[in-house]
Chain A
Amino acid sequence: MKPVPFEYVAVKSVNEAITALEKYGDNTVIIAGGQSLMQEMNLRQARPSCLVDINGITDLDYIEETGDAIKIGALTRHRTVEKSEIVKRNCPLLQEAVTHIAHFQIRNRGTIGGSLRQNPPGAEYGVVARVLNAQFVIAGPDGKRVLSGEEFFVSHFKTAVKQNEIIVEIIFPKLTKDTGYGFLEVTRRHGHIPIVSAAATLQLNEDDTVKDAQVALGNVSPQGVPYKVQSVSQLIGKPFTQEILDQLANDIKNEVNPDPEADAKAGYTLQLSRIMGRRVSEISSAEYRKEASSVLSIRALQKAYQQIKGTFQ
């Protein structure tokens, strides 16, 4: 369990990082918290020729509040997000989601940018980013660009971030005070990578009909990206009743389309002695994930509803 030889460059600024990424060639990758990359390197599943260590770019470690958004620097640790008063006040859904990331020891090290860049199936930030329409600020040799979630996530373990680019910031819109939210996962054990993850937000009109409802799911799309549920829009304008939720549950089951074959293809890779190893933690059947998608979506919406009504326990 030792990595192949690699070069190592420690950088102090975003510009230095970009320069290093360009200088050391295609097989150069960024290391931030290292909570996935180090393991993959030790298993020889990942064999980068050069690591650019961005832990020295301390000005990428921040959480800031603007008028209608919070901005999180890409090097911010999960634990910092989890403990942040700004996040708690303005985007409690994100805070709730972060508590689901692995164990606190891992959250102390892992970074928001690293998790998003890796895009492993079901990962919490991606699901929240999709449900809230977060934006991703990416820096490269030609300056900065801003991507939506739809543009950012490409496929299993793949994003639109180019080899010579670095994520610098993620912008989450604030949740309004009247927004209910819920985040749920099915995991085989405490802190483990989810089989399915779900985030929901809900707003009600004064007459208790649904003003807005959003649901995003992790690990259910055949492309391996966080998935924004379409059929939830049917709630809008209608009262939040069991009957309509039952209908929605059914529709979500039909809407989502997990592809175990695509997952398996992305999920296996050669390691030591050319023995195949797995990168994806839970390859469950499509049937199960459809079922879980539906259950978690409804529960997350119900949780959001109870929050609005003050009945959430």
Chain B
Amino acid sequence: MKVSELVEKLGLKVYCGNNGLENEISNGYTSDLLSDVMGHADAGCAWITLQTHKNVMAIASLKDLSAVILVKGFEPETDMAAQSDEEGIPVLGTSEEAFTISGKLFNLLINCK
């Protein structure tokens, strides 16, 4: 599923990284611990987190993740947004909490497999 389809289906905000809206999402990973994501997330994941700083984008880029979804209305810091644009990895947003949005993403991805 493309990031743009996910945005539409889950009613997500697109904060930045619009040049990556055609990225393909194959899976999801929910965690606020950076080394956990570094060690265990697969390429192509949408990363669900409440972390809003630049290091999130460094990890997303190193791990070839497709998008970052910020929960509970959190917004990316300025330097996170800049790196998102640079890397072409969109930062999306939802007012929902991690449990709820993870469940919705899971259901969407299960249904397209």
A, B from the same assembly: no
Contact surface of A with B, Cβ cutoff 8 Å: none
Contact surface of B with A, Cβ cutoff 8 Å: none
